[in-house]
């Protein structure tokens, strides 16, 4: 009886140990049954996709590719190393870009608000209009004229010239044309008694001297030449 009981106990232990395995096998079978349709569908899809490259793919090509990969292991390793260096460079540059890009955007936005881009576009449009309206020879002549005007502007930038122009600009404001009258020789002599007229005549004389220098190209007139007349 003891032997039979021992055998029964061992059988019960074996059944207890086999029961989880049976449940796992049942679960695996159910999973297999569930995956079987999906697997068949995947295989059919793969076969269909491979049919499209069947004419362009040969097993020999795959072997050639494998051989080339084996021969190029050093090159591939070098490329991977360089790729790591690029990644490190990007990681190092990223904080700088995070601060520089917003500043650049703000700078461009400020230029846009100030109308600099519109001015550049208008300048390009002006050049296009010049090209349509004038020939290259005419544009060259205009360029020469602009150079002359710039030289004239440079001369006008002289402090004395600027002071003279500022004073001349005040003349129209000090002139009352409603008080102007006809003046004859006697009236002219009478007006010469005014200090303002005397000062005006003095200024006129200085202007006349300057105009005379312009006529003679800035050189003094030869007295002997004047006496010859």
Instruction: List the domain boundaries for the chain.
Output: 1-48, 60-101, 115-160
Per-residue pLDDT tens for 10-57?
Answer: 777 777 777 777 777 777 777 777 777 887 888 888 777 777 776 776
Instruction: Report percent pLDDT > 70 for the chain.
Output: 90
**pTM for this predicted structure:** 0.34
Cα–Cα distance measured from residue 196 to residue 179, given in angstroms and rounded to the nearest whole number: 15
Note whether 161 and 155 are within 8 A (CB). yes
Outline where the chain has alpha helix (H).
2-53, 59-71, 73-113, 116-133, 136-156, 159-174, 185-191, 195-215, 223-228
Per-residue pLDDT tens for 153-185?
Answer: 887 778 887 887 787 787 777 777 777 777 777
């Amino acid at each position: 009886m003891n032997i039979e009981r021992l055998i029964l106990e061992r059988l019960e232990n074996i059944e207890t140990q086999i029961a989880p395995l049976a449940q796992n096998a049942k679960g695996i079978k159910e999973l297999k049954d569930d995956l079987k349709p999906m697997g068949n569908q995947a295989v059919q899809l793969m076969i269909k996709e491979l049919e499209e490259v069947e004419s362009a793919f040969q097993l020999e090509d795959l072997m050639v590719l494998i051989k080339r990969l084996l021969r190029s292991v050093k090159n591939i390793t070098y490329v991977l190393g360089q790729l790591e260096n690029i990644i490190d460079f990007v990681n190092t540059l990223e904080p700088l870009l995070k601060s520089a890009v917003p500043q650049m955007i703000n700078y461009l936005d400020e230029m846009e608000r100030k109308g600099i881009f519109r001015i550049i576009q208008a300048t390009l449009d002006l050049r296009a209009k010049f090209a349509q309206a004038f020939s290259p020879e005419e544009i060259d002549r205009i360029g020469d004229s602009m150079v002359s005007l710039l030289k004239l502007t440079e001369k006008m930038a002289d402090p004395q010239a600027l002071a003279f122009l500022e004073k001349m600009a005040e003349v129209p404001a000090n002139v009352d044309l409603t008080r102007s009258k006809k003046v004859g020789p006697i009236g002219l002599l009478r007006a010469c008694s005014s200090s303002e007229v005397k000062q005006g005549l003095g200024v006129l004389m200085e202007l006349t001297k300057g105009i005379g220098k312009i006529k003679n190209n800035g050189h003094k007139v030869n007295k002997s030449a004047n006496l010859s007349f």
